[in-house]
Structure 1
C-alpha cells in the first residue's frame, strides 16, 4: 500500500509544471465545454479514432489507416465493420485495383462530425470575440511558438511530423492564420465528455 501511495505522489508532482497547468486550463475551458453528442458518445474510443481518421484521410486504404493508427489491419477491419453497421462509414473497392479496400464517411457520419466541429468552432469564436484587439496577436504568437517547438520536439523523438489537409483549415477572424481541425484523440475525448467539471 505504501509503495502505491509513493508512486501516486511522484506522479502528481508533474502538475507543478507551469506549461502543463496552463494547457490543462485552456483545454478544459475550450475543448470540454460542450455536452457529448449522443450518437458519438455511444462509440468506444477505438471506433472514434478510426471515424475521425476517415474524415481526415478520405478514401484511404485499410493499410494506410493501419499504419496511421499503429494497429493491425485486422483490427482496422473489425473497427470498420462496427462503424459500417452504425451507418457512419462505407467500405468499397478501388476502381483501378480491386485488391485495395478503401473507407469513406457516409452521409450520416459526415453530418455527425461536421456538427461536432461546428460546436467547437462556435465556442472558439465566442472566446476569440472576448479577447481585446491587443490581446489577439499575443495569443496567436504564443500559441504558434509553442506549436512550432512541440512539432520540432516530436520530430527529434523520431516520430512522423504532423500534417494537415489544406481543405480542412478554417480562418481565424480578422487574421490570415489558419486553425487546423482538432486532432483525432483530443476531439474524441472532448465529444465523449470524459472530462467532468470539478
Structure 2
C-alpha cells in the first residue's frame, strides 16, 4: 500500500470514529455530540448565555440558538431572564440535562484531549501542523468549524 492510500485510510478512520461515537451518543443519551458540548459548557457554572456558548464553540449565536432550542424541547435546559440584566437571557441546565451528562459515554474529544495532552510539546506541534496541512489539501482551511468532534449537526445548523 502506498502512502496516499495510508493517509486516506487514516482520514477515513477518523471520520468513522466520529460517526460511530455520534451514533452511540445519540442512541444512549438522545443528543448529538454538539448538543453534548453545549450542555458541558452550560454545566460548568450551571448557566451560560448564548454569546458565551458561541464564543467558546466558535460558532454564531444563531447556531447556538438552534442548538439550545433542541435542548429546551428535550427538557435538558431552560431559558430564564437574568435578574441582573433583564436584556440578557441565561440558559440553565436542568436535572435531566445533568443526568444526561453523567450517563453519556466518554466523549470522543475528551479521549483525544487526554491523549493529546500526554504527548510531548514537539509531538503536539507536529500533529497540529500536519492536520492543518491536511485541511488545506482538502481546501477546508476556511470552513467554519467548532472544536467539536462531530460530523453532522453543526454543519446542518450552519447551513440553515
TM-score normalised by the chain length of structure 2: 0.53
1:62 matched residue in structure 2: 50
Task: State the shift of 1:79 in Å.
Answer: 1.6
Q: What does residue 88 of structure 2 align with?
A: 100
The structure 2 residue matched to 1:83, chosen from 71, 85, 92, is 71
Quote the Cα distance in structure 1 between the aligned partners of 2:45 and 2:125.
20
**DSSP-derived class of the 2:75 partner:** coil
- 1:150 is matched with which residue: 124, 146, 159? 124
Query: Post-superposition shift, 1:52?
Result: 3.0
CA distance in 1, matches of 2:9, 2:120: 18
With CA pairs under 8 Å and 6+ residues apart, which has the higher RCO, 1 or 2?
A: 2
- The 4+ residue runs of structure 1 with deviation greater than 6 A are 151-154
Is 1:185 aligned to residue 148 of structure 2? yes
Tell me, yes or no, if structure 1 residue 73 matches structure 2 residue 66: no
Q: 1:38 maps to which residue?
A: 27
Partner residue of 2:6 out of 13, 32, 48: 13
- Whole-Å Cα distance in 2 between the matches of residues 75 and 37 of structure 1? 19
C-alpha distance in 2, partners of 1:11/1:57? 46
CA distance in 2, matches of 1:89, 1:38: 19
Alignment gaps of 5+ in structure 2: 107-113, 129-146, 152-160
Looking at structure 2, the residues matched to 148 and 90 of structure 1 have their Cα atoms a distance apart, in angstroms, of 43
**Counterpart secondary structure, 2:102:** helix
**Equivalent-residue separation in structure 2 for 1:46 and 1:143 (angstroms):** 22
Q: 1:143 to 1:61 in 2, by over 3 A?
A: closer
Write the distance in 2 (CA, Å) between the matches of 1:37 and 1:72. 23
**SS of 2:80's equivalent?**
strand
**Other-structure match for 1:172:** none
- Give 5+ residue unaligned stretches, structure 1: 1-8, 121-139, 155-183, 190-198
Aligned positions, number = 124
